[in-house]
Copies of this chain bind each other. A is one copy, B any other.
Amino acid sequence: MSETSGETGGTPGERISDAEHAIMEVLWDRHPLSAAEVCDEVCATRGWSMPTVKTLLSRLVGKGALATEPAGRKFLYSPLIERSDYVGGESRRLVDRLFGGRAASLFAHLAQSEALTDEDLGEIERLLKEMRK
């Protein structure tokens, strides 16, 4: 329910947790990867051990967020959901929860809290113009 589309029985309803998200980022960046390769990318950064990565990968597979492709004796993991979908969902969640669904409020808040750089402003302006066409 409340999904953007009919989600023909494949989209994972399950929420992706924070740690899991880190794994997803790696795989969105490059895939398919083996567990070891994923570990190479995150274990150092997040201070995780191999088993941790394995668990997270398994959970993501369980949640339908990753596909496993048997390659030789090992598995290769690839994202099943698109990054833009995830990002969009999370963004919407935030806007809904914190700003009553008004994206403009988010913008206003970022603006007021000076979280917007000049670059940001410039680019937003540009995007805005483009949309207005």
Choose among B92, B99, B116, B132 the residue that contacts A103 (Cβ–Cβ < 8 A).
B116
Copies in the complex: 2
CB distance from A124 to the nearest CB of B (A): 5
CB <8 Å contact, A91 and B103:
no
Is the C-beta of A36 less than 8 angstroms from some C-beta in chain B? Answer: no
Given the interface contacts A107-B107, A124-B104, A124-B128, does A91 sit within 8 Å of B84 by beta carbon? no
Is the C-beta of A41 less than 8 angstroms from some C-beta in chain B? Answer: no
| Proximity bits, A67-96, B CB within 8 Å = 1, else 0 | 000000000000000001001101110110
CB-CB under 8 A from A106, the residues of chain B are 91, 106
Binding site for B on A (CB under 8 A): 18, 21, 84, 87-88, 90-92, 94-95, 97-99, 102-104, 106-113, 115-117, 119-121, 123-125, 127-128, 131-132
CB distance from A123 to the nearest CB of B (A): 4
Q: List 8 A-B contacts (CB under 8 A).
A: A87-B98, A88-B109, A88-B115, A91-B109, A91-B115, A103-B110, A104-B120, A107-B123
CA distance A108 to B92 in the complex (A): 13
Given the interface contacts A88-B115, A91-B115, A113-B88, does A124 sit within 8 Å of B97 by beta carbon? no
